[in-house]
């Protein structure tokens, strides 16, 4: 059997060599070719069979070149001179280094005209903030263009098209990708170069099925040094009486079992994942971008693969060698040994020992050497063409969508606004290499009005986690849940700085709800609500309504220490025992005391309770607990049912309707108030008019003016608070009426009428909650506003002379 297998392997090798038409002498030096791509035998005398010449469905011969500038179709005298220099340089290099491959110096462009490769690089800075950084440029090129393999994997292309044409048709090979990316990076200020070299099969063919998705790579954690707290008074742990020999045997047996299971799993899973042996390793031509350190604060030289947009270290073993590099100024040939890939290469291009430069040292771009005035005009036109082609910048992905397969993962990308729900990226993680059993799904969104940024779905546990950017209606930051149904297990996190109640986190299940607060004026930091089992029938008892059929057993509130109060008057814990109809208060512990003060309050008599017709905001705390979650869930369901996407104010196309409405409104204002200019709010203006707006005032007038202004402002603050209080009392009365009506007709209501009542009741409760918060906020901020105005008036130049020391 072994003899047959060896025979089959030899026949397969012979067929491969026959397909390549490689002589028997080359077969003996195959190993040498792979290990040293720079010193490899010249492959330009090899004839490759059609099976190795790859082609795409797109016909480049059919592209329209009629609209291209004349400089694309004819070489100027200076360009011809530059080509003669390149030809002469090539002849000298071939004579001195006959074992090296032909240099990639002057391929033809889309018009069939030879062009020096450096003149194809066009430094361009495009008007997009994202394209000012290397990762944004690389991501754009990899997403925007469709990859085409080289026609022959072992030789550079015979043509190199301009970035304008590549952008227009959104496709190209690795050399086209690299020239476009290099043009954008140089325009953004990076010291970037196109590279002609060799890489692995996976890099050249854009095969990432054996690579881990970059989104799944976890950052390396820096190990923390353990600080050992030596305490000679600590209680010593009891001695371990178990046999050390038995423990060692158990650990050894367990390790052997785990190793066997791991080996079996690897043998099963890695059979299909092992990369196949590449007989052309070290010979496959590839182009990528080299970014040198220095400019744009780049700390270390690195590579960028234009197909993926990912950065790579110059030590990366996937890059096997370099023939030459070039930018818009010059061309360098690598004279270093690449038998160890790029690991040992020196990237100091000024070193004449390691790099052979083509043109004499010059910092001028070749475009300027070809004729300043005319070529600059063509350069500007080229940039304008690129910008006009990039009007579809937001489409990004070719044909609006791009799919990348990684190891047990699939990444999908969409252009912004191409999906109605704002989806721009989706990562699906699989349990197998055939992409059939999904384990986890991550989705990224953009431009959503509900501020949803990301959603994670665990397919095994059905756990959903949503992440929001700042700006959600309720300040929602993270929402983790399994079901949107009320009274199910969920955790919500909030942006506390956008909420008046300081709510930071809310955790709920069927039996309890925990709320955590930050930065509250009343020093409350925690609230725990316990519920009893659900009831079948909804009942409303007095003002403690059980609309959710989940009666509240007790509410426990915890408070931080308020140093403005004595400890025995500062509440540390407040417990509302609903069924017992009592309140328990526990105060903070005083210094040198062992126990804290406590007080118990019981429900007042029925006759006393009837004297109060209007309920205070504090009495509705119990009811608002349930509605707080229900309202958020209701809003989230409405947001998902009717997803709306927002557009930037700078997006003229999507904001055309809004722009027209705005212009019409501004024109109407101009017609109504011609010549009127906006002015800052002047609190003194109405009072100055009353005294005739004198140029100079006496001290008495200044004092009277200040007092009148402050008195008027105080009255307006009080009036505003009274209006809010009136609205609050009106809503409370409406709530009481609805409560009484429901109590009287509860047994006669249908399920639909009952559901409508609950919905209406929820809206009323929410309005009461908002009014209570507004009223509380007005009471807290009114003194601050008054003092701020008083200070502003004191510094007013019209009054400062008289009020400076008042």
Can you spell out the DSSP letters for 414-472?
A: E-TTSSTT-EEEEEEEESSTTS-SEEEEEEEE-SBTT-EEEEEEETTTTEEEEEE-TT-
Rg over alpha carbons for the chain, rounded to the nearest Å, is 38
Residue 321 has pLDDT above 70, yes or no: yes
pLDDT at 631: 85
For residue 182, the 8-state DSSP code is H
pLDDT at 11: 53
Q: Confidence band (pLDDT; 50, 70, 90) for 228?
A: low
- Once rounded to an integer, what is the mean pLDDT over residues 312-331? 94
Residue 539 has pLDDT above 60, yes or no: no
Dihedral Cα 32, 35, 38, 44, nearest 10 deg: 50
- pLDDT over 70 percentage in the chain: 75
Q: Confidence band (pLDDT; 50, 70, 90) for 34?
A: very low
Tell how far CA 187 is from the center of its chain: 25
Question: Among 3-7, 229-233, 712-716, which is the least confidently predicted range?
Answer: 3-7
- Once rounded to an integer, what is the mean pLDDT over residues 145-173? 91
Residue 256 has pLDDT above 60, yes or no: yes
End-to-end CA distance of the chain: 110
Report yes or no: 583 and 577 within 8 Å, Cβ to Cβ. yes
In tens, the pLDDT along 500-527 reads: 889 999 999 989 999 999 999 999 999 9
Per-residue HEC secondary structure of 101-169 comes to: CCCCCCCECCCCCECCHHHHCCCCCCCCHHHHCHHHHHHHHHHHCEECCCCCCCCCCCECCCHHHHHHH
pLDDT at 785: 87
From start to end of 551-665, where are the E strands? 552-559, 571-577, 582-587, 598-602
In tens, the pLDDT along 283-311 reads: 999 999 999 999 999 999 999 999 999 99
- Pair of tokens at residue 286: 């590839």
- Pair of tokens at residue 180: 């476009």
Residue 345 has pLDDT above 90, yes or no: yes
pLDDT at 3: 45
Residue 249 has pLDDT above 80, yes or no: yes
In tens, the pLDDT along 718-731 reads: 999 899 999 888 88
pLDDT at 363: 60
pLDDT at 552: 83
Q: Confidence band (pLDDT; 50, 70, 90) for 56?
A: low
Residue 377 has pLDDT above 70, yes or no: no
Domain ranges of the chain: 70-216+280-370, 694-804
pLDDT at 273: 56
Question: Among 62-66, 683-687, 802-806, which is the least confidently predicted range?
Answer: 802-806
Higher pLDDT pick, 399 / 524 = 524
pLDDT at 25: 39
Higher pLDDT pick, 764 / 496 = 496
Q: Confidence band (pLDDT; 50, 70, 90) for 224?
A: low
Q: What is the mean pLDDT of the chain?
A: 79
Higher pLDDT pick, 769 / 636 = 636
**Is residue 126 classed exposed, middle or buried when 0-12, 13-18 and 19+ CB atoms within 10 A define those classes?**
middle
Q: Confidence band (pLDDT; 50, 70, 90) for 47?
A: very low
Higher pLDDT pick, 387 / 686 = 686
Q: Give whole-number Cα distances, 230 to 235, 238, 622, 650, in Å.
A: 12, 18, 49, 62
- Dist. CA 242–CA 399, nearest whole Å: 67
pLDDT at 362: 61
Question: Among 7-16, 198-207, 632-641, 795-804, which is the least confidently predicted range?
Answer: 7-16
Other CB atoms within a 10 A radius of the CB of residue 70 amount to 9
- Once rounded to an integer, what is the mean pLDDT over residues 121-150? 89
In tens, the pLDDT along 434-452 reads: 999 999 999 999 999 999 9
Residue 24 has pLDDT above 50, yes or no: no
pLDDT at 346: 94
- Once rounded to an integer, what is the mean pLDDT over residues 403-432? 91
pLDDT at 610: 46
Ramachandran category for residue 404: left, alpha or beta (phi over 0 → left; psi -120 to 50 → alpha): beta
Whether this prediction's pTM lies above 0.85 is answered by no
Report yes or no: 576 and 555 within 8 Å, Cβ to Cβ. yes
Using the Cα atoms of residue 335, residue 338, residue 341 and residue 345 in order, give the sign of their dihedral: negative
Name, in order, each residue with C-beta under 8 angstroms of 551's C-beta and a sequence gap of 6 or more.
531, 532, 535, 578, 579
Q: Give whole-number Cα distances, 758 to 485, 683, 767, in Å.
A: 15, 47, 14
- Once rounded to an integer, what is the mean pLDDT over residues 729-735? 87
Strand 146-147 versus strand 302-304 pairing type: unpaired
pLDDT at 85: 92
Residue 490 has pLDDT above 70, yes or no: yes
Residue 335 has pLDDT above 90, yes or no: yes
Q: Confidence band (pLDDT; 50, 70, 90) for 375?
A: very low
pLDDT at 157: 95
In tens, the pLDDT along 764-786 reads: 877 887 888 888 888 888 888 88
| Tokens 């709320």 -> residue | 515
pLDDT at 547: 45
Residue 620 has pLDDT above 70, yes or no: no
In tens, the pLDDT along 649-673 reads: 666 666 666 667 667 776 766 555 4
- Once rounded to an integer, what is the mean pLDDT over residues 405-422? 90
pLDDT at 613: 40
pLDDT at 615: 42
3-class SS shares of the chain: helix, strand, coil, % to 5: 40, 20, 40
Higher pLDDT pick, 735 / 106 = 106
Higher pLDDT pick, 572 / 548 = 572
Name, in order, each residue with C-beta under 8 angstroms of 644's C-beta and a sequence gap of 6 or more.
448, 449, 450
Convert 570-594 to b/e letters by CB count within 10 Å (16 or more is b). Answer: bbbbbbbebeeeebbebbbeeeeee
In tens, the pLDDT along 196-206 reads: 999 999 999 99
């Amino acid at each position: 059997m072994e003899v047959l297998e060896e025979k089959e392997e030899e026949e397969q090798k012979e067929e491969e060599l026959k397909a390549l038409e490689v002589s028997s002498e080359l077969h003996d030096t195959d190993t040498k070719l792979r290990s040293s791509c720079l010193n490899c035998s010249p492959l330009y005398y090899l004839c490759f069979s059609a099976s190795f010449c790859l082609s795409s469905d797109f016909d480049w011969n059919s592209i329209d070149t009629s609209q291209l500038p004349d400089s694309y179709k004819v070489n100027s005298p200076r360009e011809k001179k530059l080509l003669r220099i390149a030809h002469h340089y090539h002849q000298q290099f071939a004579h001195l280094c006959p074992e090296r491959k032909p240099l990639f110096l002057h391929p033809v462009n889309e018009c069939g005209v030879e062009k020096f490769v450096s003149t194809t690089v066009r430094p361009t800075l495009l008007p997009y903030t994202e394209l000012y950084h290397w990762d944004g440029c690389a991501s754009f090129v990899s997403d925007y263009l469709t990859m085409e393999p080289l026609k022959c994997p072992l030789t550079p292309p015979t043509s190199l098209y301009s970035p304008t044409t590549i952008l227009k048709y959104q496709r190209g090979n690795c050399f086209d990708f690299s020239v476009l990316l290099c043009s954008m990076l140089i325009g953004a200020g990076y010291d970037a170069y196109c590279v002609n070299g060799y890489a692995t099969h996976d890099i050249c063919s854009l095969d990432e099925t054996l690579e881990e998705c970059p989104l799944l790579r976890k950052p390396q954690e820096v190990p923390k040094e353990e600080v050992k707290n030596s305490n000679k008074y600590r209680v010593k742990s009891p001695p371990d009486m178990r046999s050390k020999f038995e423990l060692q045997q158990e650990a050894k047996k367990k390790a052997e079992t785990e190793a066997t299971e791991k080996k079996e799993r690897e043998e099963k899973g890695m059979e299909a994942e092992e990369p196949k042996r590449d007989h052309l390793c070290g010979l496959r031509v590839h182009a990528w971008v080299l970014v040198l350190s220095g400019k744009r604060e780049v700390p270390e030289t690195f590579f960028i693969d234009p197909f993926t947009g990912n950065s790579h270290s110059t030590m990366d073993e996937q890059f096997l060698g370099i023939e030459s590099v070039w930018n818009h100024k010059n061309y360098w040939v690598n004279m270093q040994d690449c038998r160890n890939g790029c690991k040992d290469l020196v990237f100091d291009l000024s070193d004449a020992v390691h790099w052979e430069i083509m043109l004499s040292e010059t910092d001028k771009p070749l475009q300027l050497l070809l004729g300043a005035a005319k070529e600059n005009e063509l350069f500007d036109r080229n940039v304008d063409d690129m910008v006009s082609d990039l009007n579809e910048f937001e489409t990004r992905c070719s044909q609006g969508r791009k799919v990348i397969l990684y190891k047990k993962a699939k990444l999908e990308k969409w252009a912004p606004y191409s999906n109605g729900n704002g989806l721009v990226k989706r990562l699906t993680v699989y349990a197998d290499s055939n992409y059939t059993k999904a384990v986890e799904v991550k989705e990224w969104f953009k431009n959503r009005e509900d501020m949803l940024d990301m959603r994670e779905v665990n397919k095994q546990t059905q756990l959903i986690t949503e992440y929001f950017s700042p700006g959600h209606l309720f300040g929602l930051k993270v929402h983790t849940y399994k079901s949107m149904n009320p009274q199910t297990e969920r955790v919500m996190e909030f942006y506390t700085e956008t909420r008046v109640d300081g709510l930071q986190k809310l955790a709920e299940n069927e039996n309890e709800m925990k709320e955590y607060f930050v930065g509250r004026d009343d020093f409350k930091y925690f609230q725990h609500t316990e519920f009893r089992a659900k009831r079948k029938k909804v009942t409303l008892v007095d003002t403690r309504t059980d609309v959710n059929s989940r009666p509240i057993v007790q509410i426990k509130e915890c408070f931080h220490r308020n140093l403005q109060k004595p400890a025995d008057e500062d509440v540390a814990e407040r417990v509302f025992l609903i069924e017992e109809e009592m309140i328990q208060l526990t105060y903070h512990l005083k210094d040198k005391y062992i126990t804290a003060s406590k007080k118990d309050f019981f429900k007042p008599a029925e006759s006393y309770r009837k004297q109060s017709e209007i309920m205070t905001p504090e009495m509705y705390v119990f009811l608002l607990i349930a509605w707080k979650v229900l309202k958020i869930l209701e809003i989230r369901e409405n947001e998902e049912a009717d997803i709306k996407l927002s557009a930037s104010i700078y997006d003229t196309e999507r904001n055309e309707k809004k722009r027209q409405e705005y212009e019409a409104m501004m024109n109407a204002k101009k017609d109504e108030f011609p010549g009127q200019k906006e002015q800052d709010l002047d609190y003194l203006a109405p009072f100055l008019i009353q005294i005739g707006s004198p140029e100079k005032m006496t001290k008495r007038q200044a004092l009277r003016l200040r007092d009148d202004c402050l008195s008027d402002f105080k009255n307006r603050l009080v009036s505003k608070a009274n209006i809010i209080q009136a609205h609050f009392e009106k809503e409370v009365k409406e709530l009481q009426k609805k409560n009484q009506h429901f109590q009287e007709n509860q047994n006669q209501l249908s399920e639909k009428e009952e559901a409508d009542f609950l919905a209406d009741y929820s809206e009323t409760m929410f309005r009461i909650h908002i009014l209570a918060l507004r009223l509380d906020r007005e009471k807290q901020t009114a003194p601050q506003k008054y003092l701020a105005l008083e200070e502003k008036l004191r510094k007013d130049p019209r009054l400062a002379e008289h009020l400076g020391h008042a």
